[in-house]
Amino acid sequence: MVNWGKLLKNGKAMYLAYDQGLEHGPESEFNDLNVDPLYILKIAKEGKYNAVIYHKGIVEKYSNEIKKSKVPLIFKLNGKTKLQSGEPISAQIATVEEAKKAGAAAVGYTIYVGSKYESKMIEQFEQIQREAHAINLPVIAWMYPRGEKVKNDVSREMISYAARVGLEIGADVVKIKYGGNAKDLQWAVKSAGRTKVVIAGGTKKGEKEFLEDAREIMKSGAAGLAVGRNIWKNENPLELSKKLREIIFE
Ligand code: FBP
């Protein structure tokens, strides 16, 4: 049994993702405000998120503030830059042991389902999952179909496959993308069985559209959202967080 702690509230979840500095780079994602990891921590705390997601370097350099905030931490254990070419692979940059020492509430790991390097990532995940479960730490798998055979990564086939792989390999939560079709997502949630499903926010869209999607996502049976850019790129992130919170936990 994993220890969910505050990661779930009545089975629902709202996570604030901030791994985009590594995944996408500051130029395309950040401004003077949101370039600062502490700005994100403030949103996570005041916006009452169930957790904030950081990579190792930020966890180490801002550990005092993160601990003081009491916002549960999801420690992301692998990552890659957008400059990588060819079939995608995400390199492991931290261990379960480091996450434990940092007081993390869960660990996160990305798998590019369909990549030529898929088996390497699944193998690495297996070890992480075993180590994390040995200390009751939940494991969240970012399940992103990608690679030569993946024509549409948000199709019904791909999102349900990604979710199912997460269940089969022992993830406690899968983070998948929403393609805009609620029925497809319903099927993906069903395919994930007892593994919880949270949805990524994606590139920044209009507030109305974002909240509309969130409503559909919740109706589809997902546990919640693990969102980044749509929140911390917004001019009023706390107002939007409140609206999102009402949709997720209502
Ligand atoms: P967003 O809500 O900003 O899309 O964040 C979700 C996320 O999964 C991040 O955790 C991650 O950095 C990013 O999306 C990866 O997106 P992609 O691999 O499609 O560039």
Q: What is the pLDDT of residues 128-164, one digit of tens each?
A: 999 999 999 999 999 999 999 999 999 999 999 999 9
Q: How far apart are CA 216 and CA 96, in angstroms?
A: 34
Q: Are strands 78-79 and 91-92 parallel, antiparallel or unpaired?
A: antiparallel
Q: Coil, helix or strand for 55?
A: strand
The finding on whether 200 has its CB within 6 A of some atom of ligand 1 is yes
For CA atoms 16, 199, 248, 4, give the dihedral sign: negative
User: DSSP code of 12?
Assistant: B
Q: Is 76 in the pocket of ligand 1 (CB under 6 A)?
A: no
pLDDT band of residue 250 (cuts 50, 70, 90) is confident
DSSP label at residue 9: B
- Expressed in angstroms and rounded, the spacing between residue 202 Cα and the centre of ligand 1 is 6
Task: Supply the pLDDT for residue 31.
Answer: 98
20 lines ligand 1 (CB under 6 A): yes
The confidence score (pLDDT) of residue 39 equals 98
Residues 189, 163 contacting (CB under 8 angstroms): yes
Q: Which atom of ligand 1 is found nearest the CA of 204?
A: 3
38-86 pLDDT, tens digit each:
999 999 999 999 999 999 999 999 999 999 999 999 999 999 999 999 9
pLDDT for 200:
98
How far, in Å, from the CA of 23 to the mean position of ligand 1?
8
Q: Which residue has the tokens 């994993």?
A: 2
Residue-averaged pLDDT of the chain: 98
- In whole angstroms, what is the distance from residue 58 CA to residue 49 CA? 18
Say what the pLDDT of residue 75 is: 98
Q: Is the dihedral of CA 214, 217, 221, 225 positive or negative?
A: negative
Strand-pair category, 196-200 with 91-92? unpaired
Chain segment 4-19, per-residue pLDDT in tens: 999 999 999 999 999 9
pLDDT, position 210: 98
Residue 248 burial (CB count, 10 A): 22
Residue 21 pLDDT > 90, yes or no? yes
The pLDDT value given to residue 124: 98
Ligand 1 within 6 A of CB of 216 = no
**For the chain, percent of residues with pLDDT exceeding 90:** 99
